[in-house]
Structure 1
């Protein structure tokens, strides 16, 4: 009986509102829900919420930092962190039972199952055909993005493509699929999603577009070292009908008044006042400032602030070192803290920050293009043009006359400076094979080869005997 209850609990967590073979009468099952156009819209909206930000510590709302970025040379667990699992992630002493790793796995599969239900059910709803096709492709975009995260974090993962609707062993016990199979599905989903509209009206701001699908697909190809495909797909975004461009001022990338603007290809939407504020603002703001209810737990690693030249316009948007108290008007200074997600409009309660979290933005597409072209053909004029657009906006001199290895390092450095604390550093160090070298240099000497992948959560393996463990994390 205990095992049955465990499986039932697992199935509910995995399947969200999916119909189970033995569902209590109080559970709204999919047969009762997926009937109208309004149901279809609500279903896809729920995928966005589950995949991006549904309140609390969710994937793009702090969990990515606690689940993997905190391992890097850019971030540490601050002195105020009391959770032993978070401190273990920061020091790379975490185990297969780490609660942040487990939650990261769980949230991905809950969102994936919601996407699967939408993809399976919406085609059967009588509704506007154009909207129906769009909603299915939005769900495919999100599923592709989620599996892209999973395959980079864990390598082989269960590849579940339809709703979980049974407590049978066949439904619940799913083996890990080969990496190539997962990537094949990621590419298929994102390829279909390229048919999404190039833009939306303001009421639908934040939804996935065809340009977002192409941008993430370019990143997939970059990760796979398919340089020609990465460059070509990035060029489709750069020269496409989407209207993307860099903001003139870097500060506008992280300005509530300009969010979902021309540089924001796809972002996790944050809105204070309804439980979906950006928690990173609070975790990155120091405590002790009168009138500011901050947590002060997430801190930059030593030396990150100093990576920026004094004239780099990104430095004082990425970090802040002083803040004026809203109650007494005094200025308080402190060591550098991350500033990107701070919302001056919610200074008294930073947890309600309205700053979005970028998933991919135009500056990164330019850097993807520059890197891919350099790997394919060396530092061409086009590659220089792309990286120098990013540098010019930052107020830095253009690059010139570099060797291919020199240009490669320049792109790596530029990505770190441009995308600091946007949850790209761990992925970059892993895909380029620099994780151990970089972390040792930063004093995180517990790093080992096994840290190129996260451990499969032990609680998942306790439920599913078909799940194997990643190398170095035990049997």
Structure 2
């Protein structure tokens, strides 16, 4: 069976198992060890299957609801959608998009690779290491998002191939235990990827692994209180990324979102017309049913629906903050037609397939601009304010057209305010802002619906509740305090 047929075979099995899935944490694919894991082609198809699951498990709404909509920077669009609970930070256990299942769907495939790939003899041992490194990267990415969204979460690390496996009904583990697993996984990914110069953005290259490692250890330093040691690890990781000559800042901000092979992109999730053409940018276009025909895709990009847009708050505080910001028109545009204001983004707008827009833009997870801003954040934490401003200025030069837009700051608080402002603008709509606000300690000050609510939900207001489906399929799961 050639590699393409095997990928199709995995997809069919996944689809069949999903249709009859009974257990929240049961893997999508229980491919028999005896019949499947026998040669390199099996491992390669399993790896491609992992990226397929990473793309297809998360709906278009998941990305925005999890990472953007709670910030106050997103509002409802011209057509009603299920966004308001997220905007108001009034989450309940029955919200469809407050379900952790998509992460465990991906984790189960990563576990299968990690558990089985060593059974295969490779002609080049380096390739086996690359495959394992990518599986550890994906699992670390999943658990890193899980623990930040839900706090205590179940840990499943074994390849579950039966209905009576010991890890099938796990308890929620405390955050310390989850972060220990995350550190172990990203550490193994780092170790296994040493010397790997692969730079394909749709796969986890060494640079992508180091970006995630920096991200994790910055969180550990600033949110989890691990301070100097974690900061040192983050600094070492990001310095290697910055030294990698494969990547560079694009001269034009819009090119980053219209060129899928732009050298600024370190890691992205791949979309394609023949595979999946429903990237979340469709939520930030306009509804085909609302835009007059003469303006559809000329200039207003239209999709099937429109349930969200950048808020007036975002315009006031960020998009329109600095006159002449060259990023503004890429981030969003407005057009008045017969008394109706149509607002859309020019990021992630895909391509035209005949007279229909298809949303095939790759989801940018890490790009080189963030490497500079990660370095600035580390330097700020170390008290090196002038050096931190240098890295911020490297990013904003293309926005403001000057080498030294920021010349001085008086203290760390002012520097972190600048840094957060620029991150929110630079990565607008890229699903960064929610965690940025938390990591930089300003979420309760920046988000109107969170003002004065630090103790709401027994102090768990920043987390999602556990979805009701999880209790039905796993009796060992308990609700987060404050959401009972």
TM-score, normalised by the number of residues in structure 2: 0.83
Q: Is the 1:211–1:242 contact (alpha carbons within 8 Å) kept by the matching residues of 2?
A: no
- 2:76 corresponds to which residue? 77
- CA deviations 1:147-197 (Å, max 9, x no partner) are 111111111211111111222273322112221222222222222223436
**What is the CA distance between 1:454 and its match in structure 2?**
0.9
Contact 1:93-1:446 at 8 Å conserved across structures: no
Given candidates 131, 137, 143, the residue that maps to 1:135 is 131
- Within 5 Å, give how 1:103-122 maps onto structure 2: 105-122=100-117
Aligned to 1:76, what secondary structure does the other structure show? strand
Partners of 1:411 and 1:279 in 2: CA distance: 26
Aligned residue pairs: how many? 439
| Alignment check: 8 A CA contact 1:227 1:372 kept | yes
TM-score (norm 1): 0.84
Q: CA-to-partner distance for each residue in 1:283-323, whole Å, 9 max, x for gaps?
A: 53243242544412121122313323231111111112259
In structure 1, the partner of 2:40 is: 37
Q: Is the 8 A contact 1:75 1:300 kept in 2?
A: yes
SS at structure 2 position matched to 1:265: strand
Local SS of the residue matching 1:107: helix
1:418-457 CA-partner distances (Å, limit 9, x unpaired): 1111111111222333323322279999994432111122
Q: Which moved more, 1:60-69 or 1:71-80?
A: 60-69
For 1:427, the equivalent position in structure 2 comes to 435
Which residue, out of 357, 369, 377, partners 1:363?
A: 369
Instruction: Indicate whether 1:249 and 2:248 are aligned.
Output: no
Tell me the distance in 2 between the aligned counterparts of 1:230 and 1:133.
23
Could you tell me how far 1:278 is from its partner in structure 2? Answer: 2.0
Structure 2 residue aligned with 1:388: 393
* TM alignment of 1:169-180, pairs within 5 A: 170-180=166-176
Q: For residue 7 of structure 2, what is the aligned residue in structure 1?
A: none
Structure 2 equivalent of residue 25 of structure 1 = none
- What are the within-5 Å matches in structure 2 for residues 339-378 of structure 1? 339-346=346-353, 348-350=355-357, 352-378=358-384
- Is 1:266 the counterpart of 2:271? The answer is no
Indicate the residue corresponding to 2:50 in structure 1: 47
Residue aligning to 1:327: none
Q: 1:374 to 1:282 in 2, by over 3 A?
A: closer
Matched with 2:343 is: 336
Does structure 1 residue 144 correspond to structure 2 residue 112? Answer: no
Distance 1:12 1:33 in 2: 24
Structure 1 unmatched ranges of 5 or more: 19-27, 324-329
Q: 1:79: Cα distance to partner?
A: 4.0
**Per the alignment, in what secondary structure is the counterpart of residue 267 of structure 1?**
strand
Please give the per-residue CA displacement for 1:373-406, whole angstroms capped at 9, x wherever unaligned.
111224032x122110011021255212202221
- Distance in 1, matches of 2:329 and 2:422, equals 16
Write out aligned runs for 1:213-292 (5 A): 213-225=209-221, 226-239=230-243, 241-255=244-258, 258-281=259-282, 283-286=284-287, 287-290=290-293, 292=302
Measured after TM superposition, the shift of residue 332 of structure 1 is 11
After TM superposition, give the deviation of residue 70 of structure 1 in Å.
1.4
In the aligned structure 2, how far is the partner of 1:36 from the partner of 1:414? 48
- Partners of 1:34 and 1:12 in 2: CA distance: 25
The equivalent residue for 1:185 is 181
8 Å contact from structure 2 (residues 444, 450) kept in 1? no
Name structure 2 gaps, 5 residues minimum. 1-16, 222-229, 297-301
Deviation at 1:99, TM superposition (A): 1.0
Deviation, 1:348, is 3.8
User: Does the C-alpha gap of structure 1 residues 462 and 281 become closer, same or farther in structure 2, counting only changes over 3 Å?
Assistant: closer
Distance 1:331 1:265 in 2: 42
Output one character per residue of 1:179-221: Cα deviation in whole Å (capped at 9) or x when no partner.
Answer: 12222222222222234365447xx551111111111111111
Measure how far apart 1:345 and its partner are.
3.3
Q: Which residue of 2 aligns with 1:453?
A: 463
C-alpha distance 442-190 of structure 1, shift in aligned 2 (>3 A)? closer
CA distance in 2, matches of 1:441, 1:135: 43
